[in-house]
Structures are given as structure tokens and as C-alpha cells.
Amino acid sequence: MKQENKQPKLNYRYSGNTVYIDIRIDFYREIYNEWDFSPMVNRDLDDDLLEYIESSAEEIPQKYSLCIVFNIPRNLKDADKEEKSIKGFHYFFTYQIRRIKIERKKNFRSAFMYGFFGLVLIFIAYFLRQASFNIPFFDVIIEGFFIGGWVLFWELFSSIFFKHRNIIHRKNTLERLMKSTIMYRYLE
């Protein structure tokens, strides 16, 4: 199995301990979602841009600091738009992190419910088996309760060990991007 290359120096510009994620834009509006016309500091980032930045941050080892560089034609330089977009960038990631925290709470609540109802179904099945009614197909119903309980327990473990891990990983990536430096560089 071929080992992944974790050297950002081969894929990105770097200087010392900083890795630069270069993005070329032709105008400021390209940074944002084309459907979002709210004020610049409150806009959502373009989905493709967000995916690219997140995947880049995941590729670059944690020991490097990130700098996101927007390369834009010099004739479009607008210091006011740049200042607002940098603030908006950080607000966007703050908002996304807040959403992730809410998702994490929902995941724990769901895991608790899966565990609770899984136990209830297994106890019902156990007590019904002890009662041993002589009703046709009653054993099928009991097995259904057992299976339902174990499926809910699987969901409990899936939520705790798999979904929670993915949520934490995304939160860490977003926090790293929120702390990154954002710059504009001008092209001739």
C-alpha cells in the first residue's frame, strides 16, 4: 500500500512554518455563495471554495500554520471589501463551529435515546420469553423485539464511535481555518 504524501512543500507554497493555500479569483464575489446576497460579513462561502479549503487544511499537517491567499487582478483592489471579506471569513467559520457544536449535542441525545429504547426492547423481549405464552408466531414477535433492541444498540455505538469522531474532526478543521491568516495578493 502506497503511503500518502504528507509533505505540504510538494503541493503548496510555504515559508518557514507557514503553508499558503493559493486561490485565484477574478472578482471578490467569487468567494461567496452565488445565491447569498446578505451583507459581505454575513455571507456563506462558495461551496466549492469551502470544500477546497477544508480538504487542503486536512492535507496539511497540524504543525504548519495556514495562510489563505486570494490572488486577484490588481485593477480590482478594494481595501474596504478585503477587510469586510476577511471579517466575514472568520464569522463564517465561527458560525459553522457553532452549528457543529449543536450537531454534536443532537448526536449525543440520539445516542442516549438509542440506548434507552434498545434496553427497553431487550427487556420486553426477555420478559415475554419468560412468560412463554402459547400463541402462534409469538416467538417471532419476541425475536423482533430482540433484533430491534440490538439494532438500536448498534446505532448507539455507531453514533458514539463513528459519527462523533467525524463531527470532532470537522470541528477541528473549521477551528484551524478560522485561526488561519487571510491575505490578498495582486496579479498584474
Rounded to two decimals, what is the model's pTM? Answer: 0.75
Sequence ranges of the domains in the chain? 8-99+180-187, 103-169
Question: Does residue 139 carry a pLDDT above 50?
Answer: yes
Q: What is the pLDDT of residue 40?
A: 54
What stretch of H or E contains 50?
Answer: helix 47-59
Q: What is the pLDDT of residue 6?
A: 54
* 61: number of Cβ within 10 Å: 10
Contact 123, 145 (CB under 8 A): no
| Cα–Cα distance for residue pair 45/33, rounded to 1 Å | 5
**Which of 4-8, 40-44, 181-185 has the least mean pLDDT?**
4-8
Q: What is the pLDDT of residue 1?
A: 40
Give pLDDT tens digits for 109-119.
999 999 999 99
Give pLDDT tens digits for 23-82.
998 887 777 777 766 655 566 788 888 899 999 999 888 889 999 999 988 888 888 888
| Cα–Cα distance for residue pair 149/138, rounded to 1 Å | 17
> 17 or 131: which carries more pLDDT confidence?
17
pLDDT, the chain, mean: 85
Q: What is the pLDDT of residue 38?
A: 62
Reported in sequence order, the residue ranges of the chain that DSSP labels E, i.e. its strands, are 13-15, 18-24, 65-73, 181-187
* Residue 11 pLDDT class (50, 70, 90 cuts): confident
| Cα–Cα distance for residue pair 27/74, rounded to 1 Å | 10
Burial class (CB in 10 A: 0-12, 13-18, 19+), 163: middle
> 36 or 88: which carries more pLDDT confidence?
88
Q: What is the pLDDT of residue 135?
A: 76
